[in-house]
A and B are shown apart, each in its own frame.
Chain A
Amino acid sequence: MVFAFLVLILLIALPLAEIFIQSVYRDGELQWSAPFRTLADSDMMVVLLSSIWLGVCVILGTTVIALPLAWVMVNTRLGRWRWLEIVFLIPFMTPPYIGSMGWILFMQKNGYLEQLAPGLSGLGGAFFSFGGMVAIMSLHLYPFLYLLLRGALERIGGNMEEAAAVMGAPFTYRFRRVIAPLLLSAFGMGAMLIFVKTIAEFGTPVTFGKRIGYEVMTSEIHKYISSWPIDFGKATSLSSVLLASCLLVWYVQSVVNRKYTFGLVGGKGVRRSSIRGNGWLQWVAGIYVVLLLMVSIGIPYFSIVAASTMKLRGIGLAWNNFTLDFYKELLRWNSPSMQALMNSLWLSLAASTIALMLGTWFAVAIGRSKSRGQRTIDLLSLLPNTVPGIVLVVGLILLWNSPWMPVPLYNTYGMVILTYVVLFVPYTVQYVKSAFTQIDPKLFQAGQVFGAKPVYAFRRVLLPLIVPGMLAGWMMTFTIASRELVGSLLILPPSMQTSATYIYAQFEQGQVSLGMAMAVISVGLTTLLLILLEAAGSKRKWASP
């Protein structure tokens, strides 16, 4: 545990400390009040509140989408289609600024909706509002909550619900008194991650938010970090406010979590509930899933694919304006785009694998967060998720490029991998922890009774039980790492690109179609890879509980 602690200090606490020093060390002298002065600016309060309000609304939005979906996937026949799992991840694989651009292109004046159905043009005006922004972000983030809720629902299994049903409890009562309390711990974790992701999100506020004039903290922070005079001090002061609000949410969540954690995985083998939906319920469930996929994937991807196959974007949707030239240009062997694609692939493979190992280790060290030390590790391993990526990345540069740093990691591929690992290790930790805390200690005692050595108990008892959590964490990390933009822009060695920076560069250069085509290819590639993995994984006996 001590070792885990030290690794976390090096990876996460030190870069953040560098940032903190920046925010109080102005003009060569120590000024403790500097961060507070930045905040005293009255406008900042308003911006902070908008960030928090957005976070709350997106939690609501994702819950409304993910909770029914998780229930449907566990309790109806749709659950047999494992590939759907991957499909549900697609919105999350889409870089947020691309997804938002897809929505904008669809809804704006003379946009695709108006070209397809001129009668519906009134919808556009209503869409460019705060509600639209919440919808876009919820549709982007719901897979997060869904994966956690589904995992928890599966672990609950049928027994408890059946027991209640035998006693004559109707569905609403069963949900309220059996499922909801058992779900609360996973939901709390998911809601917290959603909140943190939302208020630290940059892509949607900068594309869609700017358009409707909705300012949030990240766009303010970005202003200080990207236009002359660059002021890391101010940016970090604002970040520490974000950090503080995230910590508060984390604290509430950890209290809830400690109160509502139950030993659900008791070794009896989980059986699906026999309370299955009848015919019409299956139909409703099916329609719900199809509608959700149409809205969360259909609309944005229609725009993205349309934009990537247009000769001239000023002409719009027309068959004689269709071309595949951009794809041909991208897929030429040894072209810069191919290299960028390959870079993304192996960098995110390496990063997610290292993050998987580190994250599992941390999660096991955290255990049930009984001791103070364990809770500190829990907090430390979550921190990267609470700070806007760009701020943490600056901290990492400050640390790893400082003259006294003995390891010459900066400006190498290693630095990129390290950055991804630091940014995304919280996901593995959360997923594994969520699986781990629900394992009944009796299982280990049973192993002990039969004389299992610790190594054996780890291999044969714990590992099989947390593997689904590990896999989910790995998939998440791989998915996000392969589209990471903000960190990559700052940290990639000169003359090197990943698919995300390539896309971004194309947008900057006015080659929107080329950028969109690259987005389609890279998301497609990620999806394909995950489907293959899932197919391979489901043959293993422990892959699905």
Chain B
Amino acid sequence: MTPSSAIAAIETFALEKTYRVGFWHSKKKLALKPLTIRVEEGEVFGFLGPNGAGKTTTLRLLMGLVYPTGGRARILGRELDDPEMKRQIGFLPEQPYFYDHLTARELLDYYARLSGVVGRERKKRIEEVLARVGLSDSAGTQLRKFSKGMLQRVGIAQAMVHDPKLLFLDEPMSGLDPIGRREVRDLIEELNVAGKTIFFSTHILSDAESLCDRVAVLNRGELRGMSAVADIVREIGGSVELMWSGASAIPAISALGGQCHATADVVRAVLPERQLDSAIDALRKTNAHLIQVVPVRATLEDYFLAKLAERPEGVEVRA
């Protein structure tokens, strides 16, 4: 175990899952290669990857729904089936489905009771949480009448109703319209400010970029990269994007190392920052009309796509 002053929120040590498939259970399918990550308390951690990358498998392993075929993990320093730990975490599964014979309030009451929230405190929390996700009006309606977006909100509500320290969210934005997504993003930020740790998996990078402190990238069951968002964004900096009209300048700019894309008479090119002065000179020489100069920042998408393309040759990637 790596020595640290605080207990990690989540720690995995070569956590692995292999499924046996086929009629005689003879073939092996590797859903998750040995995964070692560490998430600190108070972080917002993004778990990224294309569909089928192993994100849901990892979550299921952490939630104790599925048993690992190798390695181990700890949440809040405790075993994965420790009821004390379960009390302090919340989980929103992908495409959640709840007992549709219950009303929203009844559902939250059920979950709150199971989590050990008692009496008056429970009633108070339920109303608070319902208000927070915007379902106060529909609280008495049976869940079978809820839309997908409303179900998503109920899902978030049940994950929060017992005031857990650590939240696991699997695709929390799915099924929500832009307003809903905004609300969820605000909620996550709010929770983070309140000191909660959030672990969420998604394939929508822009959300991850704006919310997460750190991210991990998964592909085909393998960890491809793990890094702080701030570092990524800072790293591939140092470029500028030029926009002008005047096709005759293209050869000169290309010579400086810029890739030119022309649409009608307007050309764009991205160049290293140090070439900026030479580029502007070149434009002036050809009487091109400069429209815009914009500094280019790297996006999470770049990092993501780069990591997906790499082949780390079976070596575990650590941050």
| B is a partner of A | no
B residues in contact (CB < 8 Å) with A? none
